[in-house]
Structure 1
Amino acid sequence: MSTPDPGPEPSASGDALTAAAITELVESVLAYDLPPIVVAGHPVLRRPAEEVRGRLDDELLGRLVATMRRVMHAAPGVGLAAPQIGIPLRIAVLEDRGVLDETVAAARSRTPLPFTAIIDPRYTAIGDPMDSFYEGCLSVPGYQAVVERHHAVEATWTRPDGTRTTEVFEGWPARIVQHETDHLDGRLYLDRAHLRSLSADREHARWVQPTVEEARRGLGF
């Protein structure tokens, strides 16, 4: 089967795409059965994504969200932002079934997060508590690093049906919201990471603990 034409890329100057160009770009990405995930070094990951604000019709938006969910599951991951498949729009999908280890779940406040599609999201921190845990990213394969994030956030976004929604997230779900919203702002998790904690996947097994305290001692961060 021939490779689909990747279509127009976002303007290198950062100029906003027209509605027609956005539609063409999304259609070109959806021509793939599973669109590839772009990796660090691609400029789409380093520019703030554009607001959707109704610039995609309901049918195309629905297909995009469904495709993003399939890509997230196939990776596998617990979140995926549209820029990660080359689309510079403020859309992300989130879903986490949690972990079976009750000790890990309690230490990380890792509660299940049902599938959620967030469009044009914004969040604000709730209080001062911060949590530090290892994170990875589908666009930075092969590595993980410790990132300090707000324990709780209040997020506001638009659902695919057009409903504007506000919800409070705590613990690991709040971490996922912050990670994916960072993608929409042109940031990678490494921008916030303790770089001395950076671990290749083949080394990370030694630091797989409920908390990061052993990694702090071993790596000096």
Structure 2
Amino acid sequence: MPAPLGALVEELLETPGPLPIVAAGDPVLRRPAMPYEGQLPGPLLARLLTAMREAMHAAPGVGLAAPQVGIPLRIAVVEDPAEVAEEVRDARGRVPQPFRVLVNPSYEPAGAARAAFFEGCLSVPGWQAVVARYARIRLRAEDEHGRRVDEECAGWPARIVQHETDHLDGMLYLDRAELRSLTSQQALVDRWAQPTPHTAARALGFSLPVDG
């Protein structure tokens, strides 16, 4: 019989150093996560969220879903200092995002426009691929205190929400990616560091959405 969630989290938090991030191939990444309905006592939830934030910083990344540390709950943390060049910020709509917790998040498109950019994942280290995602979404969730979240997101913040929510649905970014764009991290740095993936699309032979 699987261990109760509380015991699983307690055991995980005993891990020295940053929490280990689960890599692609682990079934926990391919199962829809359980809605969070107070399964963890408040202090234990707070400890888990702190540990997830530390693991996200250490990786480093801008988002982390609970299944990525082996906990099958619909919880994610996001934070993006957006320390990028101005031309990248403008092309991608990448603006700083303070630390926040998303509990039971869901989203729907706010318009049909899509944007395509290279995207990576802490659970698929060393690789990136171009993913077309909605340019603007409506996010619904709760925060860690049970307060309702209902807002529109655009640009890179919208991409982060979609990426992390996909994790909670048992999806990886590669399920949505243009696979001809798949590139190593080193090749991305050496060849495809432009603000948009248009040069890569021409060279590697893949299409971009009209909006992207």
What corresponds to 1:94 in structure 2?
Answer: 78
1:219 aligns with 2:211: no
Name the structure 2 match of 1:143: 127
Where does structure 1 differ by over 2 angstroms across 4 or more consecutive aligned residues?
A: none
Q: Distance in 2 between matches of 1:45 and 1:39?
A: 8
Distance in 1 separating the partners of 2:125 and 2:87: 27
Question: Corresponding residue for 2:13?
Answer: 30
Aligned to 2:104: 120
CA distance in 1, matches of 2:36, 2:84: 37
Q: Secondary structure at the match of 2:179?
A: strand
Structure 2: which 5+ residue stretches go unaligned?
207-212
- In the alignment, structure 1 segments of 5+ residues that lack a partner are 1-7, 10-19
CA RMSD of aligned residues (A): 1.1
Distance in 1 separating the partners of 2:25 and 2:69: 13
Matched, 1:54 2:38: yes
Q: Which of 155, 161, 179 pairs up with 2:145?
A: 161
Amino acid at match of 2:21: I
SS of the equivalent of 2:146 reads coil
- Confirm or deny: 8 A CA contact 1:50 1:89 kept in the other structure: yes
Q: Distance in 2 between matches of 1:72 and 1:82?
A: 11
Q: 24-33 or 187-196: which moved more?
A: 24-33
2:178 aligns to what?
194
Determine the structure 2 residue equivalent to 1:43: 27
Cα distance in 2 for residues equivalent to 1:52 and 1:171: 27
- Structure-1 residue corresponding to 2:88: 104
Q: Is the 8 A contact 1:81 1:93 kept in 2?
A: yes
In 1, Cα distance between equivalents of 2:61 and 2:84: 16
SS in 2 for 1:110: coil
Following the alignment from structure 2 to structure 1, what is the Cα–Cα distance between the partners of residues 78 and 19?
A: 17
| SS in structure 2 at match of 1:198 | strand
Residue 175 in 1 paired to residue 162 in 2? Answer: no
Distance in 2 separating the partners of 1:217 and 1:104: 19
Q: Distance in 1 between matches of 2:156 and 2:187?
A: 23
The whole-number CA distance in structure 2 between the counterparts of 1:36 and 1:104 is 30
Query: Scaled by the length of structure 1, what TM-score is found?
Result: 0.90
Which secondary structure state, in structure 1, belongs to the residue aligned with residue 178 of structure 2? strand
Which residue is equivalent to 2:210?
Answer: none
Q: Displacement, 1:137?
A: 0.4
Percent identity between the two aligned chains: 55
The TM-score with structure 2 as length reference comes to 0.94
Task: Tell me how far apart the structure 1 counterparts of residues 146 and 39 of structure 2 sit (CA, whole Å).
Answer: 12
Correspondence for 2:195: 210
Rounded Cα–Cα distance in structure 2 between residues aligned with 1:50 and 1:27: 18
The 8 Å contact of residues 151 and 174 in structure 1, kept in 2 or not, is answered as yes
The C-alpha deviation readout for 1:54-113, integer Å capped at 9, x for no partner, is 111111111111100000000000000000000000010000011341111000011111
